[in-house]
């Protein structure tokens, strides 16, 4: 059975033969141009089949390479826009809380509830700002570019350098990332070995802050919504401009924080599952394919980086003592994660399972 490449070559050959038999074949410039196009097209076709390892996937990658390049550059540029958007939205929520919510709390809540709101709200705000700043500014970690004695599992096709275990290439950053999880446009940075804890902590505390704002302003939201609806009546209430702005600000606050709590909460729960299993987002897809492949041949796949549910969380947060749950998890801490991201300790499994 002939390949599609043979048919393409045959069509090109017949096209040139038809051009040579046309009445205007005496026009040497046009004929020379067609011969050059034929030679160039034939060279391109042969370059796609320079060895037996080339397949249709390689051809598609070559065809869509300009599209990939445009997407990567646009994503890199939009990362700055997303970071500015996060800062702008978070600042607007904090401003509304200080100008609208807290004064109402001071007037209507008892003293112990006021102290609780002040302590919890400011602690949550500090944790969100600290972890977002560290997640965006901390390097995820890169493998050495020069020759070294670090063990590697493969060679990166883009960087042409050895890749250690759990290292993957990011097409947006155009570099290999140690223990790469994914490229986050909201951080304009990759999530890797050295900033994975900052990213996850930011997701957790931002979700907690949005849930806190949504619950605290729920009653004020319903009152503000009813007040806005009453403005469309035949005889609307005589609200002042300040009161109208207050109602619209409360509605904006509740809708924004509730939406972010649902969306970001789902992402946080997904990463909770991955961390519990000792996987990253990239490894999740790889491990699923490997599990299916080994199941077909009667073997069981074991994640070599799964140290147990509790131990996986200790490794992520860098917890070595009980006091570290307070000083390194519940308080801002810039300690480094355990290990260098180049080599990984794998727990021993039973002999009746297969470890990859």
Could you tell me the two tokens for 240?
């002042």
Those residues whose C-beta lies under 8 Å from the C-beta of residue 308, and which sit 6 or more positions away, are 347
Output phi, psi for 302, to 5 deg. Answer: -125, 130
Pick the catalytic residue: 173, 184, 190, 213?
184
Query: Is 184 an annotated catalytic residue?
Result: yes
Helices (H) and strands (E) in the chain, counts: 12, 8
CA 141 to chain centre: 16
Half-sphere exposure of 352 (CA within 13 A, CB side): 0
Mind giving me the DSSP string for 133-155?
Answer: HHHHHS------SS--S---SEE
Please state, in angstroms and rounded to a whole number, the distance separating the CA atoms of residues 267 and 288.
19
Q: What is the DSSP letter of 160?
A: -
Those residues whose C-beta lies under 8 Å from the C-beta of residue 179, and which sit 6 or more positions away, are 141, 166, 167, 192, 193, 196, 280, 341
Half-sphere exposure of 73 (CA within 13 A, CB side): 6
Residues with a known catalytic role: 184
């Amino acid at each position: 059975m002939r390949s599609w490449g043979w048919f393409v070559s045959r069509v090109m050959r017949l096209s040139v033969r038809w051009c040579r038999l046309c009445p205007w074949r005496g026009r040497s410039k046009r004929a020379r141009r067609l011969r050059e196009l034929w030679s160039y097209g034939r060279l391109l076709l042969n370059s796609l089949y320079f060895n037996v390892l080339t397949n249709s996937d390689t051809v598609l990658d070559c065809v869509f390479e300009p599209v990939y390049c445009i997407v990567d550059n646009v994503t890199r540029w939009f990362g700055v826009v997303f970071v500015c958007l996060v800062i702008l939205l978070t600042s607007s929520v904090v401003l509304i809380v200080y100008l609208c919510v807290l004064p109402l709390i001071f007037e209507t809540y008892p003293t112990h509830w006021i102290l609780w709101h002040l302590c919890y709200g400011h602690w949550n705000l500090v944790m969100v700002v600290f972890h977002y700043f560290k997640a965006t500014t901390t390097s995820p970690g890169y493998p050495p570019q020069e020759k070294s004695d670090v063990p590697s599992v493969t060679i990166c096709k883009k960087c042409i350098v050895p890749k250690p275990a759990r290292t993957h290439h990011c097409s947006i950053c155009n570099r290999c990332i140690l223990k790469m999880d994914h490229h986050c446009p909201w951080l304009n940075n990759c999530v890797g070995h050295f900033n994975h804890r900052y990213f996850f902590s930011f997701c957790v505390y931002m979700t907690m802050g949005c849930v806190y704002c949504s619950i605290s302003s729920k009653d004020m939201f319903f009152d503000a919504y009813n007040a806005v609806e009453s403005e469309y009546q035949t005889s609307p209430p005589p609200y002042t401009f300040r009161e109208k702005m207050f109602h619209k600000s409360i509605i904006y606050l509740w809708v924004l924080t509730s939406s972010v709590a649902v969306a970001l909460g789902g992402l946080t729960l997904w990463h909770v599952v991955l961390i519990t299993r000792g996987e990253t987002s990239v490894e999740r897809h790889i491990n699923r394919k490997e599990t299916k492949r080994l199941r077909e041949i009667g073997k069981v796949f074991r994640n070599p980086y799964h140290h147990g549910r509790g131990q996986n969380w200790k490794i992520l947060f860098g917890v070595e003592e009980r006091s570290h749950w307070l000083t390194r998890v519940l308080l801002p801490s810039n300690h480094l994660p355990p290990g260098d991201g180049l080599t990984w300790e794998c727990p021993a499994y039973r002999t009746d399972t297969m470890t990859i």
